[in-house]
Every structure is written in structure tokens, then in C-alpha cells.
Structure 1
């Protein structure tokens, strides 16, 4: 299998709105290697989150090709994409997207159950302990702080041991201390499981910890460079 785990070849994304067709991404060519941490930065509206959604098959490219683990995501239907994400990807959003009627343990166990894991709740409990929430297993999202909810979201994404973890502004809604803790946990995933991380961020300190930083501007790659902190 290739060392390249994610790739885009001349990928484009256009959306049709009231004012007509709008080009969101234009001719993106990018390769992400297995185990790499990649930061996506740039001004608001530059296409960072849209690029992340293409990489995860959550948006369908309107031009070019998107591949993950040597599979062509642009050729898959929605059911196949959902199965692929279930088996190979974790996604962390800025707004957590926890199920409010489920406890922390149930939220984390849900993707494991959907994947048919017989030990879903044991693995979920282990992952919650790994993010420092061993005493909060039976708490509901509404009983938790923003930092704790983001830890649950991270545990949920990490519990299936995904090959790829995509994170959209994972520290954006958090204060400095909680943001730093989430950063440590994200990069700890690579150390513990070899997970490939792709992160959208406005936080310079988070981007600086990545192996490589891609700057987007007006839907195109403006620059690609090694992060300052090696």
C-alpha cells in the first residue's frame, strides 16, 4: 500500500446558490502521508473547512479526484462513503455534535456498536479514561463543560482507532487551558495509534505543532511549508 494515505488531484468544489454557482475550491492537488500531521490555515472563507469535508467524503468534489487509503471517494455512493468513514476515519467538529440524550459513555460507544464491536462499552470507557473523563462516564453533555464535551467528542472519534482523524477548529470554542489539553490529546493519538491527523485551525500554536502547514487563500493552496516547531 502507498505511503500516501490521502490525496487530491485537481479537486474542485462548486456550490449553487441564489446568486448562481460559487467556486469554493479550485484545482487543489495535495498528498498526505501516513502518520503525518497536517495543519490547514488561512483567512475565513478561504476553503479550509470545505477541503476537510472533501477529504472526509462529507462533501463530494465537483471536479478532480479524492482518494483515501487508495480508494476513490469520488466514485463511492453515500452508503459506501458512510461505511468507509465508519471503518477508517474519525471526525471532530468545533461544535462537538454530541447526542444530548446519551451519556458520555453511550456517545463514545455508539460508533463502536455500529461497527459491530462486541466490547464497545469497555473500549469507550477506556478511551474516556484516556482523555481524563473516567469519573464522568455517566454524565450527559448538558452536565459537562465545553472542554469536557470536546474531550468526549475526541474520545468518540478516537475509540474506533481510525487511520485518519479530521478535526475542524478542535480548540475554537475552548479557553487556553482546555485548548492546550485538547492539542496534547490530538497529537497523543499519533503517538499511541499512528493516526494521521488533518486539522483546520486559526490557532498558530496548534498549526506550529503539525509536521506541515498548508495555507489556503480564495479556494486555492497559497503555500505549503514545514511547521516552525519541529
Structure 2
């Protein structure tokens, strides 16, 4: 039996708030298969984004275990986690997180430069072309529309050919037309690079395109369903 790409066992996350510890995730057990597209849905505050951050090693579980590509993320220190993410994961955020003083091309090239790739800018240019922004390569984020900035963020996440692509509300800041375009690009990246795609969304049409949808409520998995059925 093939090992899951991501595997959580009784994973918990407790953070300190003003009034004391707050239990965000309350024992999540979940496997994600190679090449699967998984949607995480649920009301605000249900723990969707926190779960995505655990899977990406951007938050450290305070209980249980989190494994990705056979590595125990809970056993890695911050430097080892950063190296692991750099080589294996691409992350897309709702708020883009582009570097404002860098052009679109430079933003996309950053992860490749961190990996020491000699052809960083050539590969970045090719990835920008793949999302339809080859003519905007020299523009800064402030000169780009929201949809264009999210395309740059997608190109940056995909340029290293990650095994796992994580997306947190990737269409949340976009209008309907741009949101649909980003959806198509996300699934196109999955198909083109063979990545496992895990995304948080409130958009029923995006959840419907996933192979499987996990509903969270109050820090727990409430339900699982096939994407199309879950969105109906």
C-alpha cells in the first residue's frame, strides 16, 4: 500500500490567547493520497487554515503527529522545516504575500534562487508565461491587479515543481471572473506538475472540483464527501 503524501494522527494545535490557551485543532486524523485534490471547508474559526498550516509545517502541532512525504514534521527544527518546504511544497495565500520591491519575475525566481538554481530567471519566466503574465514580468506588485498578483503567487508556488501545493482561500480576494481563472490555473498546475493539491475555500464551485472535501467544525473533522456531492 502506498504511503500517504500527508498523514495526521490525532494532531492538535493549542495557541496562547489573551485569556489563556485556546484549543484550535482537537485531534485531527487524516490521510491525503498522492495526486489527490482535497478541499477543506467549514465556517470561519473552524480550524481550516490552521490545519493547512500544520500540513505545511508553518505551524507546529502541539500534540499528535504530522507526516509529509514520509518525514515527521513534528521532529524537524525550524531550519530543517524551511529546507523541507522549500524543496517539496508550494504555498498560495489569500493575500498574495508578494515582495513589493521585486518585479513579478523576481518574485517568482526567489524560491529557485534560495535553492541555488543557476537557471532561476529562465524557469521563472517560463512559469509566468504559463499563467499568462509574460508581458508583466517587469512590473511590481503595486502595478498589477489583484488577479494578476494572485497569478504571480501561483507561479511562485509552482516554479519549484513541488510535490504538495497548498492554497489558503486562493480566490477569496478576487471577483468572480478572476476567481474562476485562478481556479482553472490551480487545477492546471496540479495536472501539469502532478502535485497533490490541498486547499481551503468558502467557494462551493471550487470545493466541487476537488476529489474529496473535508468539513471542519470547532477544530474537528465533521464530515467527508466527494467534491461534487459535498458542494450540492
TM-score by length of 1: 0.98
Deviation per CA, 1:82-116, whole angstroms, max 9, x where unpaired? Answer: 00000000000000000000000000001001011
Answer yes or no: is the 8 Å Cα contact 2:35–2:195 preserved in 1.
Answer: yes
Alpha-carbon distance in 1 for matches of 2:15, 2:116? 36
Instruction: Tell me the CA shift for residue 121 of structure 1.
Output: 0.2
Moved over 4 A (4+): none
Seen in structure 2, the aligned counterparts of structure 1 residues 229 and 223 have a Cα distance that, compared at 3 Å, is closer
The answer for unaligned runs of 5 or more in structure 1 is none
Match of 1:22 in 2: 22
Shift of 1:2: 3.3
Give the equivalent residue in structure 2 for 1:11.
11
How large is the Cα RMSD of the aligned pairs?
1.2
DSSP 3-state at the match of 1:99: coil
* 8 Å CA contact 1:2, 1:70 repeated in 2: no
For the residues of structure 1 that align with 2:175 and 2:193, how far apart are their CA atoms? 27
Asked whether the equivalents of residues 94 and 173 of structure 2 are also in contact (C-alpha less than 8 Å), the reply is yes
What secondary structure sits across from 1:116 in the alignment?
coil
3-state SS of 1:135 partner = helix
Query: Whole-Å Cα distance in 2 between the matches of residues 220 and 36 of structure 1?
Result: 21
2:106 is equivalent to residue 106 of structure 1: yes
Residues 79-118 of structure 1 mapped to structure 2, 5 A cutoff: 79-118=79-118
Matches of 1:164 and 1:18, distance apart in 2? 34
> Could you tell me how far apart the structure 2 residues matched to 1:21 and 1:2 are?
37
Gap regions ≥5 residues in structure 2:
none
1:174 and 2:174 aligned: yes
Distance apart, 1:229 and its partner CA: 6.5
Q: Is residue 209–residue 229 contact of structure 1 (8 Å, CA) maintained in 2? A: no
| 1:77 matches 2:104 | no
Q: Distance in 1 between matches of 2:229 and 2:191?
A: 17
| 1:49 Cα deviation after fit | 0.3
Q: What is the CA–CA distance in structure 1 between the aligned matches of 2:229 and 2:43, rounded to whole Å?
A: 21
TM-score by length of 2: 0.97
Distance 2:229 2:104 in 1: 34
Number of corresponding residues: 230
- d(CA) in 2 for partners of 1:99, 1:144: 13
Q: Per the alignment, do residues 229 and 120 of structure 1 end up closer, same or farther by CA in structure 2, a change over 3 Å counting? A: farther
Give distance in 2, aligned partners of 1:140 and 1:229.
41
